[in-house]
Amino acid sequence: MTNIILCGGSGTRLWPISRKLMPKQFIKLFGDRSLFQMTVERNAPLCRSQFIVSNEDQYFLAVDQIEELETDAKRPHRHSTFLLEPVGRNTAPAIALACFAIDEDQVVLVTPSDHLVKDQAAYEKVLRRAKTLAEADRLVTFGIRPDRPEIGYGYIEADGEDVAAFHEKPDAETAQRYVESGRFYWNSGMFCFKAGVYLEELRTHAPEIFEAAQKAYERAKTNGMIRIGLDDMENIPEESIDYAVMEKSRNVKVVPADIGWNDVGSFDALDEEYPKDENGNTAVDNLIAIDSRDNLIVADGRTIATIEVEGLYIVDTPDALLIGKKGTSQKIKEVVARLKKSQSELPNIHLTVHRPWGTYTVLEDSERYKIKKIMVKPGKRLSLQKHYHRNEHWIVVSGTALVRVGDDERIVRANESTYIPMGELHRLENPGKIPLILIEAQVGEYTGEDDIVRVDDDFDRC
């Protein structure tokens, strides 16, 4: 099988942990592995390759985390194919674009990149059953046996492995009735089928999506990855696989799955997975809880003290603090919407931002100046660029920098500095074998990230 991994989501319900440029699938919420890395490892025993569908901003995060897995495991590189979407058009087009690149008789396992599965043995058993059905030209979905009435999930009504109907997210009374009947499953968002079977069903039930996706794929650029053009992507109708195909096809089977599944789609879901102290609070070393019970605490290093509070989620990051009542995490989208309306960058980035060449951390951001800590990975370099509204000062803290300013190129070592005047072409490179760390001071009338004019870039960014 080939594992098609969908990893373009932004995870707004887990803000402020999850941001557009660092969504929840790439955050290490459980130990030293991200949900994306856990997805790759979970499917490796039964999938010989992985086909990763990502937006352009998250491509380098995925590449870095796969390389990290391979380094940790000291195993040879498993084949990975990447398809980059300039904008998201939901799951039906994303899966179609991947299937166009795969042999029509190949069985594919389609999985989100941000789910948690705790019972690996049961999971592999379920996958083997799904593969058998897929080899018989069935479209297979996975149904999670509900352990409570949940209004945040869609439901699958079934008789054994035969699907009777798909149902939208219900109200509380309907959800209770679903659970009591024993005929309903949560819709997991995982699928298994032959690539050609899916495309034929898509052509039958959503021909406009099929034709637009086929055209976009045929016009895509391929230079180590498949890159879909913006205009072609925007011309594809936006639709989920459930609406476009699964709810209309008569060729669908469901495999019941007791696999310890959690979509980690909210802080309430995350709270189910974290260990608790004797009072039901998250068991973390940096919590001082006095007469406090049943609180979720997610804190980025700082000590959190609570006094006589109950049933809250408290999420602390270096640049944002979220406090709310448990059971209300669906409303976090409203917070994000307000931030976007005010043109805040908080929905998009953390103070530490990942780039294909390394990272930068904003240490201070004030009117007319900004100070950053920059880390450049060995052998990597930033784009050849210039700025129209700011001057820059670079001070090397550790490692060795190869700096180009105008036509001049020179080595800058630890405790040395260089100056880049406004409007001058410049580039920063790490020619060494250890990370390059430097402090960048920007001074000017505007220090936004969009004041970058790239002339040449190793990573094909605009």
Whether residues 254 and 275 share a domain: the answer is no
pLDDT band, residue 75 (cuts 50/70/90): low
Does residue 434 lie in a domain region?
Answer: yes
Contact 41, 69 (CB under 8 A): yes
pLDDT band, residue 76 (cuts 50/70/90): very low
Which candidate, 239, 201, 218, places its Cα nearest to that of 92? 239
Model pLDDT for residues 267-324, shown as the tens digit of each residue: 999 999 999 999 999 999 999 999 999 999 999 789 999 999 999 999 999 999 999 9
* Dihedral of the alpha carbons of 342, 7, 152, 176, in degrees to the nearest 10: 180
Whether residues 195 and 316 share a domain: the answer is no
74 vs 337, which has greater pLDDT?
337
CATH number for the domain including 368? 2.60.120.10
Q: What is the pLDDT of residue 73?
A: 56
From 262, 287, 313, the end of a domain falls on: 262
Whether residues 258 and 291 share a domain: the answer is no
Whether residues 218 and 360 share a domain: the answer is no
CB hemisphere CA count around 111 (13 angstroms)? 29
215: domain range?
2-262
Pairing of strands 390-398, 436-444: antiparallel
Alpha-carbon distance of 326 to 282, in angstroms, equals 13
Whether residues 80 and 189 share a domain: the answer is yes
Mention every residue, 6+ apart, whose C-beta is less than 8 A from residue 53.
4, 5, 6, 7, 8, 83, 85, 94, 95, 97, 98
Alpha-carbon distance of 157 to 66, in angstroms, equals 37
CATH number for the domain including 181? 3.90.550.10
Q: What is the pLDDT of residue 151?
A: 85
Mean pLDDT, residues 105-126? 96
Does residue 336 lie in a domain region?
Answer: no
Alpha-carbon distance of 455 to 324, in angstroms, equals 46
Whether residues 391 and 250 share a domain: the answer is no
Phi, psi of 398 (to 5 degrees): -150, 155
Alpha-carbon distance of 11 to 333, in angstroms, equals 10
What spatial distance separates the first Cα and last Cα of the chain, rounded to whole Å? 35
Does residue 139 lie in a domain region?
Answer: yes
Q: What is the pLDDT of residue 261?
A: 95
Domain count of the chain?
3
Q: What is the pLDDT of residue 308?
A: 97
Whether residues 214 and 116 share a domain: the answer is yes
Does residue 339 lie in a domain region?
Answer: no
Work out the mean pLDDT of the chain and round it to a whole number.
93
**pLDDT higher than 70, residue 45:** yes
Contact 388, 453 (CB under 8 A): yes
Does residue 344 lie in a domain region?
Answer: no
Give me 145's structure tokens: 């046996």
Burial of 343 by CB count in 10 Å (0-12 exposed, 13-18 middle, 19+ buried)? exposed
Model pLDDT for residues 436-448, shown as the tens digit of each residue: 999 999 999 999 8
Which candidate, 459, 424, 447, 453, places its Cα nearest to that of 362? 447
Alpha-carbon distance of 273 to 110, in angstroms, equals 24
**pLDDT higher than 70, residue 112:** yes
Phi and psi based region of residue 409 (left: phi greater than 0; alpha: psi -120 to 50; beta: remaining) = beta
* 287 CB neighbour count, 10 Å cutoff: 18
Whether residues 61 and 146 share a domain: the answer is yes
Which candidate, 271, 276, 310, 274, places its Cα nearest to that of 290? 310
Whether residues 143 and 107 share a domain: the answer is yes
Which candidate, 197, 204, 222, 202, places its Cα nearest to that of 213? 202
Amino acid at 84: L
Model pLDDT for residues 237-260, shown as the tens digit of each residue: 999 999 999 999 999 999 999 999
Whether residues 237 and 273 share a domain: the answer is no
Does residue 428 lie in a domain region?
Answer: yes
Mean pLDDT, residues 31-59? 91
pLDDT band, residue 57 (cuts 50/70/90): confident
Model pLDDT for residues 382-414, shown as the tens digit of each residue: 999 999 999 999 999 999 999 999 999 999 999
Does residue 145 lie in a domain region?
Answer: yes
Does residue 347 lie in a domain region?
Answer: no
Whether residues 251 and 305 share a domain: the answer is no
From 244, 262, 280, the end of a domain falls on: 262
Whether residues 275 and 249 share a domain: the answer is no
Q: Is the dihedral of CA 70, 71, 73, 76 positive or negative?
A: positive
From 228, 262, 296, the end of a domain falls on: 262
Q: What is the pLDDT of residue 147?
A: 87
**pLDDT higher than 90, residue 150:** no
Q: What is the pLDDT of residue 360?
A: 94
* 64 CB neighbour count, 10 Å cutoff: 15
Phi, psi of 189 (to 5 degrees): 80, 15
Q: What is the pLDDT of residue 77?
A: 47
Residues above pLDDT 90, as percent of the chain: 81
Q: What is the pLDDT of residue 265?
A: 87
